[in-house]
A and B are shown apart, each in its own frame.
Chain A
Amino acid sequence: MGLRSRPTRLSRRTTVAAPVVVGMLAGVLLLLPLGPDGVGGVVRIVVGLPFVLVLPGYVLSRAVLPGTGASCSVLQRVCWTLALDMALLVVSALLLNVLPNGLTGTSWVVLLLLVLPVAGVVAHVRERGPGRARTVLLSRAWWPTIQWPAPRRLLIAGATVAIAGAAIGLALVSATTQPSPGFSQLWLQPQGPTTTAAPETAQLGVYSDEDATRQFRVEVRPDGEPTQTWSFSLDPGDSWQQSVDVPGDARTVALLFRGSDPTPYRQVWTSP
């Protein structure tokens, strides 16, 4: 038997207004130029996920299904919060689609910023209806009492989280470190219009996804022309590109050699 504390009560005004205010602040924050990386990127994720996927749905669910306990259970609240949120996004997408700007980040944020206060007002009004519970969210209707779990329960809960975390971590680590044979790409892509007209130049490129830094040599052999050669090393994930002249009336062959191996590692060619 754990320790028992006094139940926490929040007024219905708080439990409707708080998500609206938090959502509005989150929306305004998302309108700022936070940038895609660094702290700004993290803020966008931490703030953006509840702003898009939870808060509008929660306020909508409070507007549609006011009250708690006998009016709407926790499971129903969770279910309808997420469902109404997704429904809002699906239907709103059709609306945003007809606007010139379409479904951009700004248009989504502005739309949700409009929905939140409107739904909040409706929820507030409906919560005042007859027979509604005076307190919600953390009232007795939701939690009999907020109890400190017994140590054994805490241990079990901790074990559950730890084991689930281990499963997730194992999946991530094993997939990230999964060995796969290294490879390199060689291409010779004619430039210009995509017709069958003979090209004058072509883009020659090498991309390495080998297991380590490798030394490469590329030879280009246009028919009847002197051979051009380039040597370079590439780290895994790096690429090398070169524009080369290719005669339109003859085949040009490009060969890729890896290390000191005299056998061509890759080969490509144009057609005359």
Chain B
Amino acid sequence: MTAAVADPDAQPATPSEVEPVPTTARPDDPRPWGHLPETSVLVVTGLLAVSLAYAGGRAGAGWWVDPVYWLGQLLLFVPPLLRILIGRRVTERECAGTAMVLGSAYFVAAWCYSPLEFKFIDELQNWRTTTDIVQNGHLFSYNDSLPISPMYPGLESVTAAVVVTTGLSVFVAGVVVMGLVRVVLTAGLYLFFRKVTSSARAAALASILFTAAPYYKSVLAKFIYGSMALPFLVLACYAAMSAITGPASRRRTMTGLAVVAIAVTVISHHLTSWFLTATLLVALLVFSYRGDRVGIRVLSGLSVTSGVLIGTWILAVAPTTPAYLSPALTDLTRGIAAALGGRSQQSDGGFVRAPLSEALPSYACVLVLAVGVALSALWVWRRHRSDPWIVVMTLAALGYLAVPVIRVLSDSGSEDAVRAQSYLFIAVAPVLSLCGLEYLRRAGRPRWLVSTGAVVATVVMIGGITSGWPPAWGRIPADHMVVDGYENAVDPQGVAAAYWVQASLPTGQRMAADDTNYTLMGPYGQQTMVSGTSGLYRTSTLTEADRAEIVADRVQYLVADRRLTQQLPAGGSYFPDDPMAFRYTSPLPLADLTKFDRVPGVARLFDSGDLVIYDLRSLDGAP
């Protein structure tokens, strides 16, 4: 009898000290799934609480929304955690089932946030690319709202195939595809963790810990091209490991699967494929150090394949990739140089702008993980340094120690650090789980220590939410349009205006707008959005500088949203590339937005109450 979810290739290179989990279930086992049904009930109850909190937010309900949301998050996370930590007898099926149930529940919770339409800026951009493929029947159309997106059309290709064969909308097809992507990610992570740790319990715990990654509960469940690539990064690593540690008869098969996964990663997302190549190179270094011939052969082949595919793709399809990614690297290196020179550059400083209730768990999360990774590295060095894959994962996990540095030094440190954690958690989670469970077992699993471990893991989960996306002001859907509120800023009036623009104006007109309308008029309106035009909205009369800016940026249309005069920006800035970001103390004066009504030569094309669109083309000297 073979267990339904047993990994057949599992060959523990180093016998794990984690309590062994029976990998086979007896035919007469009355509970082959253990306590998974009971755990599932608690998890979906948490899901219901989160959905209830979202519904309360939409209805403008009062004080109970936030507590119910956090109760839901605790119910989602803690019962599976406790079951895996405390359960005396957890079967292989229960471990795998727990990981799958939790991953699926978090996906549904993310969908509940915006169940009728894409609202997140990246989703809208990828919606545009998908719509272009559906309408044109070809890849690589130009997408002005995110020019790099059509060059990495993995997610969009799959979604477009569903749209044209089923007739579903891009939104529904996208949700279905992302749901399946989540299944692959969760299953792939479990299988990979299972192989790395040689323990079902550690794999399940690692899968649970991975859900604490800051972007896991939102961004990784959204219709974004990077979210599609991540599971294939995991599968590439898993297949590579299977090729090396599995039976020789399956080496070619698993190597071939690794190549397929690498190819999909390269086609789907630039940064993820670079992380994948880096991981393969680190693994190659470790296996070279150990003189493992099979490992060296497989990993060198896969590393070269990955590098060649990335290079070929950039040269043939996506030549703008280095230029697209270079600002983040330049920003970081500039920050490091400034720090070394005793200076400091303008940084968003990680959590500095968050309220104390958000900052504390965020800092605690970073501290716990940094200390945990460091201690785990020592543990691995003492007990597992003969296991190359655990060493590879530990080396990758040590990358987490760079996260606080990135936060402080990088100009957009919070976002860069949080993005990096989506990759780093693939290594952090199994290393912490393995070492933590082994330590618990050696200490005799005292109740106080297990409880402490559960509390620490929960702090990491809470910190992942407070330091991830959405921020506190957008965690619950709002009952009104929130200026610069990202998903909470997308309302029917804005969407309708963008569709009017698409239907009424030629595509590709150069348009100035605030943050929210910038994200709508590009993907939905199909216009070329011009950033750096905030000066046009900051004077009560049209100055010569304004005219010069209109000419220099060749601005043809301008969107004025009067709600900018009623609210401070929730995200800190009213406009893209806003030099006044985080320094606003009052909303914009109404006269600054209505000044175009008084300028000869400016046509007022469109009016929907809050939104007015001006035609600047007849302005003297205008393009």
Residues of A within 8 A of B (CB): 1, 30, 36, 41, 44-45, 48-49, 51-53, 64-65, 69-76, 78-80, 82-84, 86-87, 89-91, 93-94, 97, 101-105, 108-109, 140-145, 153, 156-157, 159-160, 163-164, 166-168, 170-176, 178-181, 183-190, 194, 196, 203, 207, 209, 256, 266-272
| Known pairs A45-B166, A143-B4, A180-B492; A87 contacts B263 (CB<8 A) | yes
The residues of A that contact B267 with a CB separation of less than 8 Å are 90-91, 94
- Contact for A156 among B37, B136, B232, B603, CB less than 8 A: B37
- Tell me the nearest residue of chain B to A166, going by C-beta: B48
Whether B184 lies near A86 (C-beta < 8 A) is: yes
Whether A102 lies near B138 (C-beta < 8 A) is: yes
A239 to chain B, nearest CB (A): 10
| Known pairs A153-B37, A185-B608; A30 contacts B165 (CB<8 A) | yes
Whether B139 lies near A175 (C-beta < 8 A) is: no
Whether A144 lies near B25 (C-beta < 8 A) is: yes
- Tell me the nearest residue of chain B to A97, going by C-beta: B139
Whether B235 lies near A101 (C-beta < 8 A) is: no
Most chain A CB within 10 A, of B114, B162, B176, is at B162
| Known pairs A83-B235, A103-B133, A268-B605; A209 contacts B139 (CB<8 A) | no
Most chain B CB within 10 A, of A73, A84, A267, is at A73
| Known pairs A48-B166, A65-B253, A178-B58; A103 contacts B232 (CB<8 A) | no
8 further A-B pairs in the complex, CB-CB below 8 A; given A94-B267, A103-B139, A268-B606: A49-B176, A64-B257, A87-B261, A145-B27, A164-B44, A174-B58, A183-B492, A188-B605
- Distance, CA A30 to CA B164, complexed state (A): 11
**What are 10 A-B contacts defined by CB distance under 8 Å?**
A45-B167, A53-B177, A73-B3, A75-B4, A78-B183, A103-B133, A104-B164, A166-B48, A170-B51, A170-B52
Whether B500 lies near A73 (C-beta < 8 A) is: no
Whether A160 lies near B605 (C-beta < 8 A) is: no
Number of A-B contacts (CB under 8 A): 277
| Known pairs A36-B167, A48-B165; A187 contacts B607 (CB<8 A) | yes
The residues of A that contact B496 with a CB separation of less than 8 Å are 183, 185, 207, 209
Interface residues of B in 104-153 (CB under 8 A from A): 105, 108-109, 111-112, 114-116, 133, 136-140, 153
Segment with Cβ contacts to A, from B185-193, B273-281, B438-446: B185-193
Which 3 pairs from chain A and chain B are nearest by CB? Answer: A102-B137, A174-B55, A93-B157
B5 within 8 A of A: yes
- Distance, CA A209 to CA B166, complexed state (A): 30
- Distance, CA A63 to CA B477, complexed state (A): 46
Whether B602 lies near A271 (C-beta < 8 A) is: yes
Whether B180 lies near A44 (C-beta < 8 A) is: no
The residues of B that contact A153 with a CB separation of less than 8 Å are 37
- Tell me the nearest residue of chain B to A47, going by C-beta: B166
The residues of A that contact B4 with a CB separation of less than 8 Å are 73-75, 142-143
Whether A103 lies near B161 (C-beta < 8 A) is: yes
Residues of B within 8 A of A (CB): 1-8, 25-27, 29-30, 32, 37-38, 40-41, 44-45, 47-48, 50-52, 54-55, 58-59, 96, 100, 105, 108-109, 111-112, 114-116, 133, 136-140, 153-154, 157-158, 160-162, 164-168, 176-177, 180-181, 183-184, 187-188, 190-191, 228, 231-232, 235, 253, 256-257, 260-261, 263-264, 267-268, 477, 479, 491-493, 496-497, 500, 504-506, 509, 600-610, 615, 617-618
B318 to chain A, nearest CB (A): 13
| Known pairs A73-B3, A103-B138; A183 contacts B610 (CB<8 A) | yes
Whether B260 lies near A109 (C-beta < 8 A) is: no
- Tell me the nearest residue of chain A to B49, going by C-beta: A167
The residues of A that contact B509 with a CB separation of less than 8 Å are 194
Whether B37 lies near A103 (C-beta < 8 A) is: no
Most chain A CB within 10 A, of B50, B161, B164, B235, is at B161
- Contact for B187 among A51, A78, A90, A103, CB less than 8 A: A78
Whether B605 lies near A183 (C-beta < 8 A) is: no
Whether B2 lies near A70 (C-beta < 8 A) is: yes
- Tell me the nearest residue of chain B to A253, going by C-beta: B604
- Distance, CA A102 to CA B133, complexed state (A): 9
| Known pairs A108-B164, A271-B601; A167 contacts B50 (CB<8 A) | yes
Whether B161 lies near A93 (C-beta < 8 A) is: yes
The residues of A that contact B51 with a CB separation of less than 8 Å are 166-168, 170-171
The residues of A that contact B167 with a CB separation of less than 8 Å are 36, 41, 44-45, 48
The residues of A that contact B55 with a CB separation of less than 8 Å are 170-171, 173-174
Most chain B CB within 10 A, of A53, A105, A271, is at A271
Whether B48 lies near A170 (C-beta < 8 A) is: yes
- Tell me the nearest residue of chain B to A49, going by C-beta: B166
A265 to chain B, nearest CB (A): 8
The residues of A that contact B253 with a CB separation of less than 8 Å are 64-65
Whether A185 lies near B497 (C-beta < 8 A) is: yes
Whether B45 lies near A163 (C-beta < 8 A) is: yes
Most chain B CB within 10 A, of A41, A141, A153, A185, is at A185
The residues of A that contact B54 with a CB separation of less than 8 Å are 171, 174
Whether A89 lies near B606 (C-beta < 8 A) is: no
Whether B605 lies near A75 (C-beta < 8 A) is: no
- Tell me the nearest residue of chain B to A159, going by C-beta: B41
- Distance, CA A268 to CA B597, complexed state (A): 10
A141 to chain B, nearest CB (A): 5
- Distance, CA A173 to CA B51, complexed state (A): 11
- Contact for A104 among B96, B108, B137, B183, CB less than 8 A: B137
Whether B184 lies near A83 (C-beta < 8 A) is: yes
The residues of A that contact B500 with a CB separation of less than 8 Å are 185, 187, 207
The residues of A that contact B5 with a CB separation of less than 8 Å are 73-75
B569 to chain A, nearest CB (A): 20
Whether B29 lies near A71 (C-beta < 8 A) is: no
Whether A52 lies near B492 (C-beta < 8 A) is: no
Most chain B CB within 10 A, of A45, A140, A143, A207, is at A45
